[in-house]
Amino acid sequence: MPGATFAGRYQVIEELGEGGMGKVFRVLDKKLNEEVALKVIKPEIAMDHKTLERFSNELKIARKIVHKNVGRMYELMEEGDTHFITMEYVAGEDLKSFIKRSNKLSLGTALSIAMQVCDGLAEAHELGVVHRDYGYSTLAGLWLRTWLAS
């Protein structure tokens, strides 16, 4: 799929992973000449109009979140029968890979990661956003921004 163009605008660079909602790709937004992440929502989820409406409403709120530990959300879009979300691409290793590579985290590292995740989630919750799809891979760059700077 690398090199393929999605929705006439997004050139696929690589697949980043797959989660409960769908597959996530690193893409080049050819209109803006900028890399973004693009999550293709699973068809069985996208078929539920109430779920799509909820995503749309949550996205409106999520776009207001500006926090160093939270990736920005851009748009919920549709191409034919395929629904997808564009969001900030954050380069870096995901948390699951980091933990596997590290073998064992020090208490300080584990606490630093936990605090950064909690800070980001607290900001989202203040605006009424409840994250329904986070796990190791979702935390790809949320904690790395601060971690790498320290």
Q: Quote the pLDDT of residue 145.
A: 43
Q: Quote the pLDDT of residue 83.
A: 92
Which residue in 29, 48, 119, 133 is the catalytic one? 133
Averages of pLDDT over runs of 10 residues in the chain (150 residues) are 88 90 93 95 89 83 83 89 91 80 89 86 79 52 42
Would you state the structure tokens that stand for residue 38, as one six-digit string? 């693009």
Tell me the C-alpha to C-alpha distance, in Å, between residue 118 and each of 17, 30, 88, 124: 23, 34, 19, 10
Let me know: does 102 contact 93? Beta carbons within 8 Å: no
Q: Structural domain boundaries of the chain?
A: 5-149
Let me know: does 5 contact 11? Beta carbons within 8 Å: yes
Quote the radius of gyration of the chain (alpha carbons, Å): 16
Q: Quote the pLDDT of residue 150.
A: 38
Clarify whether 133 is annotated catalytic: yes
List the CATH code of the domain at 5-149: 3.30.200.20
* Rounded Cα distance, 75 and 99, in Å: 31
